[in-house]
Chains A and B, each alone.
Chain A
Amino acid sequence: MEPVYRWPQPLLQVDDLRTYFYTRRGVVKAVDGVSFSVAPGETLGIVGESGSGKTMTSLSLLRLVPQPGGKIVGGKILFEGVDLLQLSEEEMREYRGSKISMILQDPMASLNPVYTIGEQVAEPLRQHQHLAGKTLWDQVTEALRLLRIPSPRERLENYPHQMSGGMRQRVVGGIAISCRPKLIIADEPTTALDATIQAQYLALLKDLQRQTNVAMIFVSHDFGIVARMCDRVAVMYAGKIVETATVRELFSNPQHPYTIGLVNSVPRLDRKVERLASIEGQPPALLNLPPGCRFAPRCYAVFDRCHVAEPPSIEAAPEHFAACWRVA
Chain B
Amino acid sequence: MGRQLVIRLIQTVVSLLGMSLLVFVLVRVSGDPVDLMRTSTTTEAEIANIRVQWGLDKSYPEQYWLFVSGMAQGDLGKSLIQQRPVMTMIGEALPVSLSLDGLAFVLGIGLALVLGVLAATKRDTWLDNGVKFLAILGQAAPSFWVGIVAIYIFAVYWHWLPTSGMGGPEYFVLPVLVLAFSLMPGMMRLVRSSMLDVLGSEYVKLARIKGLPERTVIWKHALRNALIAPLTAAGAIFAGLITGGVILETVFAWPGVGRLLVTAVSGRDFPVVQGITMMVAVVVLVINLLVDIAYAYVDPRIRT
Contacts and interface: CB of A to CB of B under 8 A. Distances in A.
B201 A109 contact: yes
Contacts of A110: 202-203, 205-206
Given A102-B209, A123-B210, A114 B123 contact: no
A133 interface: no
Given A104-B205, A109-B202, A162-B304, A96 B221 contact: no
Given A96-B208, A127-B212, A162-B304, A113 B225 contact: yes
Contact of A96 (B202, B211, B300, B304): B211
Given A111-B203, A113-B300, A159-B301, A64 B209 contact: yes
B300 A97 contact: no
A114 B304 contact: no
A114 B206 CA distance: 14
Contacts of A162: 304
B301 A112 contact: no
Contact of B210 (A68, A114, A115, A124): A124
A94 B212 CA distance: 9
Contact of A104 (B206, B216, B301): B206
Nearest to B300: A159
Contact of A175 (B124, B210, B213): B210
A78 to B, nearest CB: 19
Given A110-B205, A111-B203, A114-B225, A124 B211 contact: yes
A219 to B, nearest CB: 14
B225 A96 contact: no
A161 interface: yes
B211 A161 contact: no
B299 interface: yes
B294 to A, nearest CB: 13
A159 B301 CA distance: 8
A93 interface: yes
B209 A97 contact: yes
Interface in B87-143: 123-124
Contact of A114 (B124, B216, B224): B224
A95 interface: yes
A127 B201 contact: no
Contacts of B212: 93, 97, 123-124, 127
B204 to A, nearest CB: 8
Contacts of B202: 104, 106, 109-110
B211 A127 contact: yes
B122 to A, nearest CB: 11
A102 B203 CA distance: 12
B211 A94 contact: yes
Nearest to B222: A112
Contacts of A115: 221, 224
Given A97-B211, A114-B298, A123-B210, A68 B123 contact: yes
A111 B209 CA distance: 12
A127 B123 CA distance: 27
Contacts of B221: 112, 115
Interface in A95-128: 95-98, 101-102, 104, 106, 109-115, 123-124, 127-128
A235 interface: no
B209 A114 contact: no
B298 to A, nearest CB: 7
Interface in B191-222: 201-203, 205-213, 216, 221
B299 A113 contact: yes
Given A112-B225, A161-B301, A96 B206 contact: no
A62 interface: yes
Contacts of A112: 203, 206-207, 221, 224-225
- Lowest 9 A-B CB distances belong to which pairs? A96-B211, A97-B211, A109-B202, A97-B210, A112-B203, A124-B210, A110-B202, A110-B206, A102-B209
Interface of B: 123-124, 201-203, 205-213, 216, 221, 224-225, 298-301, 304
Interface of A: 62, 64, 68, 93-98, 101-102, 104, 106, 109-115, 123-124, 127-128, 159, 161-162, 172, 175
9 contacts: A94-B211, A96-B209, A97-B210, A110-B202, A112-B207, A114-B300, A115-B224, A123-B210, A175-B210
